[in-house]
């Protein structure tokens, strides 16, 4: 007798079996869940902004009679095209002196801020690459002196709050004759009045942004310089190629990927910067949005959509540039040495130049903020010419009672001001929760993507995790502001943590992914053979091996969140976190309190940075050559 053949399983059964096999692997299940979560938390807030551009906003200009002509009703919701037509087609009449001038709404509220944003982003990219790239080359490829000091101080402007250098620029160059208010340090000491274009506008904003983001270029380009194969340059030298031609034809093509990455990161960050244009009086998309959000909310949301489109464009460019990178190899293999350029006596001259510039950008801001908190009239540096006696006070720190005179406006001193310390406590809570959430999710993304390297879903999740980093911070903040207002969680720690987690996941995911890609799959396979569960493999094998990178994935969101303003300023009221109190004290004229808050933030961030370096040995300039 012949055996009967077993019936062939149906197509549905085969499909279910394949799904069950796929989900039986923990990395696949986690990746599927994270993809859904990231899609909801990233895309849905963005969709709410787009929806906000076609909604009526009670109390704003959108509710005037013209809006009624463009209303439609869809499923019980009222929508209007008025916000778009008003921004792009309407005119507005303003008075300039005795004359009335008619200009388009778009030129005032859109094109001028947009062009300013693009210009400062381009100039910031150029300045950051020039300054940071030259410094990276000098540290890694020359015999420059004071490398260890210069490398550690060079990254200070990025570690410190973004607006630090902007405030320092004001304290140095403002004058009563040109900008109004108190004279800055240069005017008080030397009587020099800098022109208005130097004190405010595109030029100072571009310079400050370039200095703030130059560490980006230093870290990215310096890493390439440090690990560059010397055989390529040696081959050109043997062929009697001039050094300048070797640099242009061999060295620059090798660092091209790092330069492109720097351009993308700096451009997207500068596009959404708010504090620096705000302090240096430049009208950009970010400052224009804040100015329009109360009385032209619909048109303001259109500006946020435009900023988001730049983020998507940058993501596309990033994908195109990284997918088509060229590889350069030599027949003889990789050299273990790097060629070092002898600067001769210039190694001392260049070191002195960078010593002065890093002193001005890294140390001087801390000194000026500290001095500001002891001046009776912050910003008045006349004591430098008239003597210190009678020109210093501790009232801004030590006043223990509510005082209405002496310029205190009913505020207690910083050390006794419960509002300041409650806000600082709120900042710590948000930073810790954001670090825990972003670090955990980012680590899981890095692990799961490394296990599914060729999966399209893994690529999608990886891109979705990285997208918020390429989005301007204000655009992300606006998205969560509209989303939080719609679901009733505005001005809560939940909304702050949610926005911070989504924005900072790329820090942890990229750090974890880079480290997990270097981990051999045989290590985990050996544990699987012994039937060790997944959670134990993670806690006993994978995390201990890659603990340095994983810890960095938690610490970077924590330290960044401490100094965040642009992302959070729309999501909560004044006093919820400490950075949102800066504008309040500036409006009251309590500049010493603003300087004190800046000083507290800088000191705390630097202390945490030093503590991290001591405990983990990790630093931003590690591996570039600054330790030598």
Q: Which pLDDT tens digit goes with each residue over 537-578? A: 777 777 777 777 777 778 878 888 888 888 898 898 888 899
Residues 6 or more apart in contact with residue 562 via CB below 8 angstroms: 427, 428, 431, 601, 604, 605, 608
Alpha carbon of residue 43 to chain centroid:
20
In the three-class reduction of DSSP (H, G, I as helix; E, B as strand; rest coil), residue 65 is classed as helix
According to the model, what pLDDT value does residue 159 have? 82
In the three-class reduction of DSSP (H, G, I as helix; E, B as strand; rest coil), residue 407 is classed as coil
* Local confidence band at 228 (pLDDT 50, 70, 90 cut-offs): low
Residue 561 has a CB neighbour count (10 Å cut-off) of 27
Domain CATH code at residue 350: 1.10.3720.10
Angle at which helix 44-52 crosses helix 297-323, to 10 degrees, equals: 140
Mean pLDDT across the stretch 201-207? 94
Question: What's the structural domain count of the chain?
Answer: 1
According to the model, what pLDDT value does residue 333 have? 46
According to the model, what pLDDT value does residue 421 have? 92
Provide the token pair at 478. 């606006």
Residues 6 or more apart in contact with residue 208 via CB below 8 angstroms: 165, 166, 169, 276, 280
pLDDT above 70 coverage of the chain, percent: 83
CA atoms within 13 A on the CB side of 235: 15
Asked whether 541 and 524 are in contact (CB, 8 A), the reply is: yes
* Cα–Cα distance for residue pair 438/502, rounded to 1 Å: 7
pLDDT at 75 over 50: no
- 244-257 pLDDT, tens digit per residue, is 777 777 777 777 77
Q: What is the average pLDDT score of the chain?
A: 80
Asked whether 131 and 360 are in contact (CB, 8 A), the reply is: no
* Local confidence band at 497 (pLDDT 50, 70, 90 cut-offs): very high
Alpha carbon of residue 140 to chain centroid:
26
Q: Tell me, yes or no, whether 266 lies in a domain.
A: yes
According to the model, what pLDDT value does residue 116 have? 94
pLDDT at 591 over 90: no
* Cα–Cα distance for residue pair 289/367, rounded to 1 Å: 33
Mean pLDDT across the stretch 198-217? 92
Provide the token pair at 387. 């003597």
Mean pLDDT across the stretch 213-232? 76
Q: Tell me, yes or no, whether 389 lies in a domain.
A: yes
Give burial (CB, 10 Å; 0-12/13-18/19+) of 82.
buried
Alpha carbon of residue 504 to chain centroid:
9
93 or 415, greater pLDDT: 415
84 or 92, greater pLDDT: 84
Provide the token pair at 350. 């260049």
* Cα–Cα distance for residue pair 596/600, rounded to 1 Å: 6
* Cα–Cα distance for residue pair 268/314, rounded to 1 Å: 7
Poorest-pLDDT segment among 83-97, 398-412, 448-462: 398-412
Q: Tell me, yes or no, whether 83 lies in a domain.
A: no
Q: For the residues of 142-201, what is the DSSP string, one character each?
A: B--SSHHHHHHHHTHHHHS-TTHHHHHHHHHH--TTTTSSS--HHHHHH-----HHHHSS
* pTM for this entry: 0.85
7 or 225, greater pLDDT: 225
| C-alpha R_g of the chain | 28
Residue 348 backbone dihedrals phi, psi, to 5 degrees: -85, -40
pLDDT at 92 over 70: yes
* Cα–Cα distance for residue pair 182/184, rounded to 1 Å: 6
According to the model, what pLDDT value does residue 135 have? 92
* Cα–Cα distance for residue pair 450/514, rounded to 1 Å: 9
Q: Tell me, yes or no, whether 596 lies in a domain.
A: no
* Local confidence band at 406 (pLDDT 50, 70, 90 cut-offs): low
Q: Tell me, yes or no, whether 260 lies in a domain.
A: yes
Q: Tell me, yes or no, whether 289 lies in a domain.
A: no
Residue 78 backbone dihedrals phi, psi, to 5 degrees: -95, 125
* Cα–Cα distance for residue pair 403/262, rounded to 1 Å: 49
276 or 223, greater pLDDT: 276
Poorest-pLDDT segment among 54-58, 279-283, 476-480: 54-58
Q: Tell me, yes or no, whether 117 lies in a domain.
A: yes
According to the model, what pLDDT value does residue 179 have? 85
Mean pLDDT across the stretch 408-436? 89
204 or 1, greater pLDDT: 204
* Local confidence band at 269 (pLDDT 50, 70, 90 cut-offs): confident
According to the model, what pLDDT value does residue 71 have? 60
Q: Tell me, yes or no, whether 295 lies in a domain.
A: no
According to the model, what pLDDT value does residue 207 have? 95
608 or 119, greater pLDDT: 119
According to the model, what pLDDT value does residue 623 have? 47
pLDDT at 464 over 70: yes
Q: Which residue segment(s) compose the domain that 261 sits in?
A: 111-283+344-393
pLDDT at 425 over 80: yes
Mean pLDDT across the stretch 327-347? 61
């Amino acid at each position: 007798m012949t055996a009967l053949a077993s019936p062939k399983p149906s197509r549905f059964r085969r499909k279910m079996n394949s799904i069950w096999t796929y989900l039986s692997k923990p990395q696949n299940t986690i990746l599927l869940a994270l993809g859904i979560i990231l899609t909801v938390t990233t895309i849905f807030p963005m969709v709410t902004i787009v929806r906000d551009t076609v909604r009526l906003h009670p109390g704003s200009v959108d509710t005037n009679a013209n809006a009624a002509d463009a209303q439609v009703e869809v499923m019980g919701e009222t929508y209007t095209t008025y916000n778009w037509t008003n921004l792009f087609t309407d005119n507005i009449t303003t008075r300039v002196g005795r004359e009335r001038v008619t200009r388009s709404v778009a030129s005032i509220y859109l094109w001028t801020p947009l062009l300013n944003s693009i210009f400062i982003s381009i100039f910031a990219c150029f300045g950051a690459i020039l300054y940071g790239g030259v410094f990276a080359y000098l540290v890694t490829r020359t015999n420059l002196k004071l490398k260890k000091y210069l490398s550690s101080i060079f990254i200070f402007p990025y570690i410190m709050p973004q607006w630090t250098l902007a405030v320092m620029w004001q304290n140095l160059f403002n004058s009563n004759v040109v900008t109004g208010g108190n004279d800055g340090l240069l005017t008080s000491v030397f009587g020099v009045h800098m022109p208005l274009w130097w004190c405010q506008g595109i030029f100072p904003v571009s310079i400050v942004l370039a200095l703030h983001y130059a560490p980006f270029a230093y870290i990215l380009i310096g890493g390439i310089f440090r690990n560059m194969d010397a055989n390529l340059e040696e081959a050109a030298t043997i062929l009697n190629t001039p050094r300048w031609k070797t640099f242009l034809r061999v060295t620059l093509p090798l660092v091209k990927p790092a330069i492109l990455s720097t351009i993308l990161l700096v451009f997207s960050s500068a596009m959404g910067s708010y504090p620096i244009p705000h302090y240096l009086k430049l009208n950009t998309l970010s400052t224009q949005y804040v100015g329009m959000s109360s009385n032209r909310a619909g048109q303001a949301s259109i500006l946020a959509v435009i900023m988001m489109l730049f983020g998507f464009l940058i993501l596309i460019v990033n994908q195109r540039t990284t997918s088509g990178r060229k590889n350069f190899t030599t027949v003889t293999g990789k050299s273990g040495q790097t060629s070092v350029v002898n600067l001769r006596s210039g190694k001392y001259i260049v070191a002195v130049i960078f010593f002065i510039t890093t002193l001005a950008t890294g140390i001087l801001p801390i000194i000026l903020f500290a001095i500001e908190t002891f001046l009776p009239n912050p910003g008045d540096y006349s004591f430098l010419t008239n003597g210190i006696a009678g020109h210093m006070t501790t009232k801004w720190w030590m006043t223990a009672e509510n005082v209405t005179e002496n310029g205190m406006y009913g505020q207690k001193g910083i050390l006794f001001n419960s509002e300041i310390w409650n806000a600082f406590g709120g900042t710590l809570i948000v930073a810790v929760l954001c670090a825990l959430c972003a670090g955990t999710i980012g680590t899981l993304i890095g692990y799961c993507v490394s296990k599914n390297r060729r999966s399209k879903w893994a690529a999608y999740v990886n891109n979705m995790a990285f997208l918020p980093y390429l989005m301007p911070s204000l655009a992300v903040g606006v998205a969560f502001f509209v989303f939080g207002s719609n679901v009733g969680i505005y001005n809560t720690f939940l909304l702050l943590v949610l926005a911070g987690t989504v924005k900072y996941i790329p820090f942890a995911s990229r750090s974890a992914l880079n480290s997990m890609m270097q981990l051999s799959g045989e290590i985990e396979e050996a544990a699987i053979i012994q039937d060790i569960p997944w959670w134990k493999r993670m806690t006993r094998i994978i995390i201990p091996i890659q603990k340095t990178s994983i810890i960095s994935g938690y610490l970077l969101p924590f330290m960044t969140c401490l100094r965040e303003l642009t992302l959070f300023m729309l999501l909560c009221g004044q006093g919820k976190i400490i950075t949102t109190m800066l504008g309040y004290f500036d409006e009251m004229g309590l500049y010493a309190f603003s300087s004190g808050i800046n000083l507290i933030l800088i000191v705390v961030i630097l202390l945490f940075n030093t503590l991290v370096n001591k405990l983990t040995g990790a630093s931003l300039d590690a591996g570039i050559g600054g330790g030598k």
